[in-house]
């Protein structure tokens, strides 16, 4: 039964997530809450791992969440399911490519989807931050790196590498 | 541009592309340009840029979408399927291998420390990704209303994000239709 749910949920993500890799996260966050396959903390781990392994983050997220919730078969199902809507849509769209982008309804739908997709991501970002407000050390490091991210543009690997190292040092040597 | 590419070669090219991508789909355009436009002259640069633009407004994974477009262009439906299997191949196995290693050491102090720190990095990345989307999200003032309505629903109810996506698409169509009618009267 879990495989059916996995297929259904990841098919939905493939069909309704707009805006690239991180756009899958709000859906995964919701799935975690509904099915209990993984916790919010697990999801944070998955995001970190998906961001430092090769390949599109969306594929990595599907593979990892599938793996956590349904083993190797689960990850295969999740990864397949998330790409099937694209496959179907694009085979259809390829025949009417030029007209597609100029179409009134396509433009109107995208007009509504852009702010909505941004709202989904913002809501998860906020909830993640709120869940850590009682850890003042984490919040301090967060604010420092957030400020940095506003000032200069750095690669995801930079943030995950440095914060991972800080965590390793702090926790291994019991500094705090 | 008439030479037909063998399915095996197509598959291997996309495996390579999937393995190169790190952290996101945005570097896919230069990589694909090098492979399909310059080296193998299989598709035109204009087509590739079109695919890239449309892929970003389609649902799903952007890098997978572009791969499907290119695969379809080269070998129709079977090409599209091979392309998407190819581009997901390396990420799939790298995750499977990495996850099994990580789960073995997950409860060590060492791993817990790394994940505690990385959890902070992830929050920075989430804010950064939100800001990048924010920069392109608003065509006019009404779009801000959609944003805050969506945010409110997500924060204060347990409704599915799918619902937010569907209703914002419907609102977009209604709003744009009303504006259009207003103009033509």
Angle at B65 between CA B63 and CA B71, to 5 degrees: 100
Q: What is the pLDDT of residues B49-102, one digit of tens each?
A: 889 889 988 999 989 999 999 999 999 999 999 999 999 999 999 999 998 898
Q: Chain B within 8 Å of A99 (Cβ-Cβ)?
A: no
Q: What is the pLDDT of residues A38-83, one digit of tens each?
A: 999 989 999 998 888 888 888 989 999 999 899 999 999 999 999 9
Whether residues B55 and B96 fall in one domain: yes
Q: What is the separation of C-alpha B88 from the centre of its chain, rounded to a whole number of angstroms?
A: 12
Is residue B22 pLDDT above 70, yes or no?
no
Whether residues B65 and B80 fall in one domain: yes
In a domain, B165, yes or no: yes
In a domain, B2, yes or no: no
Candidates A52, A65, A77; CA nearest to A25 is A65
| Domain edge (last residue) among B105, B122, B139 | B105
Percent of all residues in chain A with a pLDDT value above 70, rounded to a whole number: 100
**Mean pLDDT over residues B118-142, rounded?**
94
In a domain, B1, yes or no: no
Residues of A whose CB is below 8 A from B73: 94
Whether residues B57 and B93 fall in one domain: yes
Q: In this structure, are residues A17 and A56 in contact, taking their beta carbons and an 8 Å threshold?
A: no
pLDDT at B107: 87
| Domain edge (last residue) among B82, B105, B128 | B105
Residues of B whose CB is below 8 A from A121: 126, 129-130, 133
Is residue B28 pLDDT above 90, yes or no?
no
Whether residues B99 and B133 fall in one domain: no
pLDDT at B147: 98
**Mean pLDDT over residues B166-181, rounded?**
96
In a domain, B58, yes or no: yes
| Domain edge (last residue) among B44, B78, B105 | B105
**Mean pLDDT over residues A130-159, rounded?**
93
Candidates B71, B16, B64; CA nearest to B43 is B71
Whether residues B74 and B156 fall in one domain: no
ipTM: 0.91
**Mean pLDDT over residues A146-170, rounded?**
92
pLDDT at A53: 84
Residues of A whose CB is below 8 A from B143: 111-112, 114-115
d(CA A9, CA A6): 5
d(CA A46, CA B125): 13
Whether residues B35 and B78 fall in one domain: yes
Q: Which residues touch B20 (CB under 8 Å, ≥6 apart)?
A: A54, B27, B31
- Using pLDDT thresholds of 50, 70 and 90, give the confidence band for residue B31: confident
Whether residues B121 and B168 fall in one domain: yes
In a domain, B142, yes or no: yes
Q: At what angle do helices A2-16 and A25-35 cross, to 10 degrees?
A: 150
Residues of B whose CB is below 8 A from A67: 95-96, 99
Whether residues B100 and B113 fall in one domain: no
CB atoms B61 and A123 under 8 Å: no
Using DSSP's 3-state secondary structure scheme, residue A20 falls into coil
Whether residues B98 and B129 fall in one domain: no
In a domain, B153, yes or no: yes
Tokens of B125: 């990345």
CB atoms A170 and B117 under 8 Å: yes
pLDDT at B19: 86
- Using pLDDT thresholds of 50, 70 and 90, give the confidence band for residue B24: low
**Mean pLDDT over residues B121-125, rounded?**
94
Whether residues B17 and B100 fall in one domain: yes
Mean pLDDT, chain A, as a whole number?
92
In a domain, B13, yes or no: yes
**Mean pLDDT over residues B165-177, rounded?**
97
In A, residues 117-146, which contact B (CB 8 Å cutoff)?
117-129, 132, 138, 141-142, 145-146
DSSP assignment of A54-114 = BB-HHHHHHHHHHHHHHHHHHHHHHHHHHHHHHHHHHHHHGGGHHHHHH-HHHHHHHHHHH
Whether residues B80 and B137 fall in one domain: no
How many of the other CB atoms lie within 10 Å of CB of A5? 17
More reliable by pLDDT, A172 or B74: B74
Whether residues B16 and B101 fall in one domain: yes
Is residue B25 pLDDT above 60, yes or no?
no
Residues of A whose CB is below 8 A from B172: 108-113
Q: Which of A95-104, A122-131, B97-106, B131-140 comes out lowest in average pLDDT?
A: A95-104
Q: What is the pLDDT of residues A62-71, one digit of tens each?
A: 999 999 899 9
Q: What is the dihedral of CA B167, A33, B116, A59, to 10 degrees?
A: -60
Number of folded domains in chain B? Answer: 2
Domain of residue B126, residue span: 109-184
Is residue A96 pLDDT above 60, yes or no?
yes
**Mean pLDDT over residues A146-173, rounded?**
91
In a domain, B82, yes or no: yes
Minimal C-alpha gap between A76 and chain B (Å): 8
How many of the other CB atoms lie within 10 Å of CB of B42? 20
């Amino acid at each position: 039964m879990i495989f059916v749910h996995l297929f259904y949920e990841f098919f939905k993500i493939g069909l309704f997530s707009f805006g690239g890799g991180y756009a899958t996260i709000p859906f995964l966050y919701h799935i975690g809450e509904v099915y209990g396959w993984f916790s919010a903390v697990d999801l944070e781990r998955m995001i970190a791992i998906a961001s430092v392994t090769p390949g599109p983050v969306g594929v990595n997220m599907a593979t990892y969440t599938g793996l956590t919730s349904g083993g190797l078969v689960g990850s295969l199902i999740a990864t397949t399911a998330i790409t099937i809507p694209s496959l179907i849509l694009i085979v259809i769209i390829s025949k009417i490519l030029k007209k597609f982008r100029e179409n009134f309804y396509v433009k109107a739908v995208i007009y509504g989807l852009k702010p909505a997709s941004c709202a989904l991501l913002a809501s998860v970002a906020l909830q993640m931050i709120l869940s850590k407000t009682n850890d003042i050390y984490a919040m301090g490091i967060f604010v420092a790196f957030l400020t940095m991210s506003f000032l200069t543009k750095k690669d995801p690997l930079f943030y995950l590498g440095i914060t991972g190292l800080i965590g390793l040092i702090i926790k291994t040597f019991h500094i705090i | 541009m008439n030479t037909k590419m063998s399915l095996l070669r197509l598959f291997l090219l996309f495996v390579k592309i999937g393995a190169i991508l790190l952290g996101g789909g945005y570097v896919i355009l230069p990589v694909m340009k090098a492979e399909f436009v310059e080296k193998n002259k299989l598709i035109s640069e204009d087509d590739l840029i079109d695919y890239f633009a449309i892929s970003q407004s389609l649902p799903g994974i952007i890098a997978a979408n572009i791969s499907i477009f290119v695969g379809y262009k080269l070998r129709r439906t079977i090409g599209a399927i091979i392309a998407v299997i190819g581009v997901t191949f390396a990420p799939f196995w790298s995750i499977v291998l990495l996850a099994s290693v990580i789960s073995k050491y997950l409860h060590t102090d060492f791993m817990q420390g790394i994940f505690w720190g990385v959890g902070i990095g992830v929050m920075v990345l989430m804010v950064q990704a939100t800001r990048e989307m924010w920069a392109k999200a608003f065509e006019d003032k009404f779009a801000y209303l959609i944003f805050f309505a969506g945010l409110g629903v997500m924060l204060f109810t347990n409704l599915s994000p799918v619902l937010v996506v569907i209703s914002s698409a419907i609102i977009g169509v209604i709003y744009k239709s009303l504006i259009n009618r207003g103009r033509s009267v």
